[in-house]
Structure 1
Amino acid sequence: MNNEENKILAHRQHVKYFMRFLNVLPSSLSSHDTTRVTIAYFSVSGLDVLGSITSISLDLQSRIIEWLYQLQVEPNKENGDMSACGFQGSSTINIDFESGNNHYRCGHLAMTYTGLCILLTLGDDLSRLNRKALIEGVKALQTEEGNFSATLSGCESDMRFVYCAACISYILNDWSGFNVERATDYIIKSIGYDYGIAQCPELESHGGTTFCALATLSLTDQLNKLTEYQIERLKRWLLFRQIDGYQGRPNKPVDTCYSFWVGASLKILDSLQLSNYANNRNYVYETQDCVVGGFSKWPDTCTDPMHTYLGLAGLSLIGENGLLEIVPTLNISKRAHDHLKALHEKWDSES
């Protein structure tokens, strides 16, 4: 829809939209069952950014928290090995270690990151986390090149999981499982000829992985490892991704999610104000469904939780009325981040 009425945030519809995903998932998402934690993350964080976290009843909040802790992989009972520790994406492959079929009983970095974000957003005190085991699980996944694999059971390793590992380490306030020097070197080697940042060295620059790299450098206090020239050229590359909304790569269509990925990258570099807020806002609102709620990837296509949350997060970055402030590096609200900082102070006082 492209009309003036659609340029107003359909707040009530979006709240109902996210609540539906926290109660009953449509059959179209059955293929995503093993990553159900990410769907919960988009929904809970979306409600938070809308300032409607209280729409989740205390009972449902408690059940979500209990469900997440059931997905925490504990150290091996026989030998104490912590390399598999983390959060799984759902109970689909939540196999007991004692069954003998435990090859897939291991954490996944993206699920650990999003699981921790949900717990913070719901105000949990993280007291039931095995923080040491989670950090050992992160440490086991870093490669010699400096990047991270997602899981011990074998999968791709790239910039996405470098970011997830950095977020986990930041949230747990423990960098002992994250080799900062090696990860920074990997990021710098992944800078392309156009000064965007790729998944891996010598691949194509991409808006999503540029965000992952910049957020990691910010969280690890390593942004100063980029030269002034590299930063200025990277700003240029990011700003050139805007048409009305943002595209992820040159010669690709714009997409709602890049309002966050590219917008947050510019925010980290203190350059978002150089973009055209009005054009970005207009594009994101063109993808809004005012009837059932949600935002889609492109106008007049089906909405989904990821694009709905990232669309809202992108609007938050440019100061849209009715939305809470986002902390771009962690992709959680400032409210949740303030709760995290209070926990860090508590942990420091206890150590």
Structure 2
Amino acid sequence: MGRFKPSPSDHVQTETSITQSVQSATENALAKLFEQCDADRYKINRNAHLNFTARLIFQGFPRRYTSQDASQPWLLFWNFQALQTLGISFDASNKERAIATILRTQHPKGGFGGGPAQNAHLLSNYAAVCTLAIMGSSSPDGGWDQIDRKAMYEWFMSLKEPDGSFLVCHHGEVDMRGIYCLLVVATMLNLLTPELVRGLREFVASCQTYEGGFSAASQPYFSASPPSLESLLSSPRPPLGEAHGGYSYCALASLILLEAVDPHPNPTKWMGIDVKRLYRWAISLQALHIELGGFRGRTNKLVDGCYSWWLGGLFPMLAEIMGGVQDAPKVKYDESPTAGITDEWAGEEECLFNRQALQRFILISSQSESGGLRDKPGRPSDAYHTLYNLSGLSSAQHRVRRTAKQKEEIIRKWVPLPSKDTQVFDDHIVRFSEEVLKNVFVASMSWEEDEPASRYVGGAANRLNATHPIFDLTTTVTKGIMNHFYHQDC
């Protein structure tokens, strides 16, 4: 550990200092890996990860996954999207099996559950629809038109709370992850209405904590009259919980999706939140040099590979909101001898976070020799961490951003929606105008990769497919399903 400086300790015996010993053990393990690594350690082990994922899909999950019986769509999504990120395609028979499996989880009253005959849940609904986006198609048996959109919309509305938020399921709790999952699905399937998003922007903004990140929910605050949106007071609505990387990613992505339909009128406070405070908090969670530049999910917590996406994936969105990097402190790339392979980074401009260090962390710390990716050294690889490490690595490799050229091209190709698609599902529901739905489509589809800005620790052989910053799908998959439900060909 000679070249690394460990985290400071005051040597006072408290509950926190006992936890600090775990921090020290993690730092020692990471430093040892770094000291022992050679050039081969900077390579993505595609074959091992492919074999790991294929074993889970085709041979079955280990016994420990029985605890995730209510997360069956997630198990499919994590694996299929990991393969997509690695650049693997699927044959027709595997697609048919995946579509049939997912459709069996569709609830007769709308939405998808965690398994056959299980209640619908916003999180499993997202995983199911994203799996259909990857494996399905617009063909008659392609899965997309087998989604009961009318029932799903009615189920969405049955979960809506007076403060604008949504329960994750009937008799469930409000959770920022559920908000994100609902908005992604509603955006992809063209289900957005004024009624659906009413009060949602204010709710999401109210979850920002004093640190700058977002908590799981906020406390509703009503006047003495019966609860309704009209009786909801603007304050106080204190956040419920501490700032968290996963909730913060979901909150920021939700606000970007909402911006197309419900923009905030205050030009000095984007969508009602403090963006610079969010940025300062997010960049503070990129770990110390001894922790190889990974991300921790909360203040004073251990680094974890999955936050390579939940926090590393924040920065493309922050760059979009902040107009690039001119409004934020710049992070210079580490070009010291301990940085590993640096020649690919010659001339790289400053950025919002250290993309090079994050790639190095994933390649050194997260890859398991037996295949798959993990939380940190000493932990087994699993489907969840395999995907979100790969998504984080992809985000650190590529610069994906909205471009005026792409936006203009989509607008040029826009075809007016069929009249039946702009009609209401029920007489009392008013759908957004075609112009607003066009804005939603353009805002979601105008993200594209800036290929010259791509940088790969370990060389271009490590390249992964670019990931859409909002949906965590490839841009090709995103375009396919959104073109279908918006009747476009962009």
TM over 0.5: yes
Which residue of the other structure, out of 231, 238, 241, is the alignment partner of 2:285? 241
Partner of 2:95: 61
Q: Is 1:306 the equivalent of 2:384?
A: yes
Which residue of the other structure, out of 243, 250, 253, is the alignment partner of 1:212? 250
Q: Is 1:164 the equivalent of 2:150?
A: no
**TM-score normalised by length of structure 2:** 0.63
SS state at 1:340 partner: helix
1:234 maps to a residue whose letter is L
Residues 232, 188 of structure 1: alpha-carbon distance in 2 compared, 3 angstrom cutoff: same
Alignment check: 8 A CA contact 2:175 2:217 kept: yes
1:106 maps to a residue whose letter is N
Q: Is 1:36 the equivalent of 2:72?
A: yes
Alignment check: 8 A CA contact 1:296 1:307 kept: yes
Q: Is 1:342 the equivalent of 2:384?
A: no
Which residue of the other structure, out of 107, 125, 134, is the alignment partner of 1:121? 134
Q: Is 1:288 the equivalent of 2:366?
A: yes
More deviation, 284-293/190-199: 284-293
| Residues paired across the two proteins, number | 324
Separation in 1, partners of 2:357, 2:77: 28
Partner of 2:85: 49
Q: Any idea what the Cα deviations from partners look like across 1:242-292, whole Å, max 9, x if unmatched?
A: 011011111111111111011121211116831111211121123334532
Residues 199, 42 of structure 1: alpha-carbon distance in 2 compared, 3 angstrom cutoff: same
Cα distance, 1:328 vs structure 2: 1.5
Partner of 2:275: 231
More deviation, 262-271/11-20: 262-271
Cα distance, 1:140 vs structure 2: 1.1
Cα distance, 1:212 vs structure 2: 0.6
More deviation, 320-329/36-45: 320-329
Residues 143, 119 of structure 1: alpha-carbon distance in 2 compared, 3 angstrom cutoff: same
Which residue of the other structure, out of 81, 89, 99, is the alignment partner of 2:114? 89
Separation in 1, partners of 2:201, 2:178: 13
2:105 maps to a residue whose letter is L
Partner of 2:420: none
Cα distance, 1:293 vs structure 2: 1.0
Q: Is 1:133 the equivalent of 2:158?
A: no
Larger Rg: 2
Residues 163, 142 of structure 1: alpha-carbon distance in 2 compared, 3 angstrom cutoff: same
Cα distance, 1:20 vs structure 2: 1.4
Separation in 2, partners of 1:214, 1:146: 17
Alignment check: 8 A CA contact 1:295 1:307 kept: yes
Partner of 2:104: 70
Cα distance, 1:322 vs structure 2: 2.5
1:342 maps to a residue whose letter is N
2:477 maps to a residue whose letter is A
2:115 maps to a residue whose letter is S
Partner of 2:302: 253
Q: Is 1:315 the equivalent of 2:396?
A: no
Cα distance, 1:139 vs structure 2: 1.4
Residues 326, 131 of structure 1: alpha-carbon distance in 2 compared, 3 angstrom cutoff: same
Residues 326, 149 of structure 1: alpha-carbon distance in 2 compared, 3 angstrom cutoff: same
More deviation, 275-284/215-224: 215-224
Which residue of the other structure, out of 309, 314, 317, is the alignment partner of 1:268? 317
Separation in 2, partners of 1:335, 1:300: 36
Separation in 1, partners of 2:303, 2:209: 21
Alignment check: 8 A CA contact 1:263 1:317 kept: yes
Measured on the aligned residues, the alpha-carbon RMSD in Å equals 2.0
Q: Any idea what the Cα deviations from partners look like across 1:132-182, whole Å, max 9, x if unmatched?
A: 111111111121222221211x22211111111111111111113863241
Cα distance, 1:330 vs structure 2: 1.0
Which residue of the other structure, out of 197, 201, 223, is the alignment partner of 2:214? 197
Alignment check: 8 A CA contact 1:259 1:280 kept: yes
Partner of 1:7: 42
Q: Is 1:173 the equivalent of 2:190?
A: yes
Separation in 2, partners of 1:196, 1:251: 14
Alignment check: 8 A CA contact 2:249 2:311 kept: yes
SS state at 2:199 partner: helix
Cα distance, 1:192 vs structure 2: 0.9
Alignment check: 8 A CA contact 2:126 2:182 kept: yes
Partner of 1:99: none
Alignment check: 8 A CA contact 2:305 2:366 kept: no
Residues 258, 213 of structure 1: alpha-carbon distance in 2 compared, 3 angstrom cutoff: same
Partner of 2:25: none
1:19 maps to a residue whose letter is A
Cα distance, 1:32 vs structure 2: 0.8
Partner of 1:78: none
Separation in 2, partners of 1:298, 1:45: 21
**TM-score normalised by length of structure 1:** 0.87
Alignment check: 8 A CA contact 1:51 1:322 kept: no
Which residue of the other structure, out of 155, 160, 167, is the alignment partner of 1:142? 160
Alignment check: 8 A CA contact 1:6 1:290 kept: no
Alignment check: 8 A CA contact 1:169 1:177 kept: no
Q: Any idea what the Cα deviations from partners look like across 1:297-335, whole Å, max 9, x if unmatched?
A: 112321111111000000111125431110111111112
2:269 maps to a residue whose letter is T
1:58 maps to a residue whose letter is A
SS state at 1:188 partner: helix
Alignment check: 8 A CA contact 1:163 1:216 kept: yes
